[in-house]
């Protein structure tokens, strides 16, 4: 198994990823500003300010990981001043990717976000189609979305520099866009990232509508990352993937719910029948053979 360095390992998604990678047999180093109060048994922990490029390079060089999963970032739009979010997340993406390459890592995975697509723009937003897929051009309208688009471009820039990434000394890069992450404890009633419970988001469509009803279980993201790490050789260097649940965070079909909240999207939602989500995971299915295992229908307590 590989030596994997995971940044942001103390965060909501990071905790599940660290736990899952350890369970899979990888040698894991979790890097964050602080070590969690309940560290995962079997994982190693290190603290560093990822905005400090020199310190980041030094730590990565000492750990010499074979693979790096970059999750660290300011994770919520508008949770800090716009300039802080943009500069922080963009710098972390570059510093981590650069340090990974310099330390000899051969696989680098960078976290992005579906919010780069631009939904929720106060100026109005009508995409070319639903469900959204990786071929739809991003149109971020806030600093968080822009910073995640920059993170994807950082991975793409390094991929352009290193070529196809094949061979013994090749380096492969990928980005992934995890939908609204639901941590395991949130199925039991703990508040989600926006402060509402999963049940509240299901009972009131207006709470899930700003994210177009997207979501994904943190453990399914972990399974995706494990599979991506294993199958990096089959992807195009710098590839991007949506990672979401196979259904929508809605009790009724989106073809019914979306027109009630976003009339301008009614014509695009016509094909979203049954439990179909507004974000396509067909690329991850086709290229990697990944399939999410969890749904609010199977995981929600009570």
Q: How large is the average pLDDT for residues 8-29?
A: 96
Q: How large is the average pLDDT for residues 273-300?
A: 97
Domain spans, the chain: 3-184+215-248+279-294
Q: What is the pTM of this model?
A: 0.97
Q: How large is the average pLDDT for residues 252-274?
A: 97
Measured at the CA of 227, the angle between CA 223 and CA 231, to 5 degrees, comes to 170
Torsion sign over Cα 63, 97, 72, 237: negative
Lowest mean pLDDT among 92-101, 136-145, 189-198: 189-198
Band (pLDDT 50/70/90 cuts) for residue 127 is very high
Band (pLDDT 50/70/90 cuts) for residue 302 is low
Burial class of residue 98 in the structure, from the number of CB atoms within 10 Å of its CB (0-12 exposed, 13-18 middle, 19+ buried): middle
Please give the mean pLDDT across all residues of the chain.
96
pLDDT tens for 71-112 read: 999 999 999 999 999 999 999 999 999 999 999 999 999 999
Dist CA 296 CA 72 (whole Å) = 26
CATH of the domain spanning 3-184+215-248+279-294, picked from 3.40.30.10, 1.10.3720.10, 3.40.50.720, 3.30.1330.30? 3.40.50.720
Q: Which pLDDT value is given to residue 165? A: 86
């Amino acid at each position: 198994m590989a030596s994997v360095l995971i940044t942001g390992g103390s965060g909501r998604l990071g905790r599940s990823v660290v736990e899952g990678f350890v369970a899979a047999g990888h040698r894991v180093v979790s890097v964050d500003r602080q070590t969690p109060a309940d560290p995962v048994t079997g994982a190693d922990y290190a603290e560093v300010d990822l905005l400090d490029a020199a310190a980041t390079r030094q730590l990565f060089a000492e750990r010499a990981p074979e693979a790096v999963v970059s999750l660290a970032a300011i994770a919520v739009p508008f949770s800090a001043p716009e300039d802080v979010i943009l500069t922080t997340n963009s710098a972390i993406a570059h510093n981590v990717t650069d340090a990974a390459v310099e330390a000899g890592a051969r696989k680098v995975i960078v976290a992005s976000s579906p919010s780069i697509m631009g939904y929720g723009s106060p100026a109005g937003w009508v995409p070319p189609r639903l469900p959204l897929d990786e071929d739809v051009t991003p149109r971020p309208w806030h600093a968080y979305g822009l910073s995640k688009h920059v993170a994807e471009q950082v991975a793409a820039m390094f991929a352009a520099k290193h070529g196809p990434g094949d061979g013994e000394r090749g380096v492969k890069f990928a980005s992934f866009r995890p939908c609204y992450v639901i941590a395991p404890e949130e199925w039991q009633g703990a508040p989600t990232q926006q402060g509402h419970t999963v049940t509240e988001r299901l009972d009131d469509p207006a709470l899930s509508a700003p994210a177009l009803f997207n979501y994904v279980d943190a453990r399914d993201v972990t399974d995706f990352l494990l599979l991506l790490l294993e199958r990096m050789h089959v992807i195009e260097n710098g590839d991007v993937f949506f990672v979401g649940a196979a259904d929508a965070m809605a009790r009724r079909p989106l073809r019914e719910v979306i027109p009630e909240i976003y009339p301008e999207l009614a014509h695009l939602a016509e094909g979203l029948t049954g439990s179909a989500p507004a974000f396509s995971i067909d690329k991850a299915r086709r290229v990697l053979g990944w399939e999410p295992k969890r749904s609010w229908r199977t995981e929600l307590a009570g």
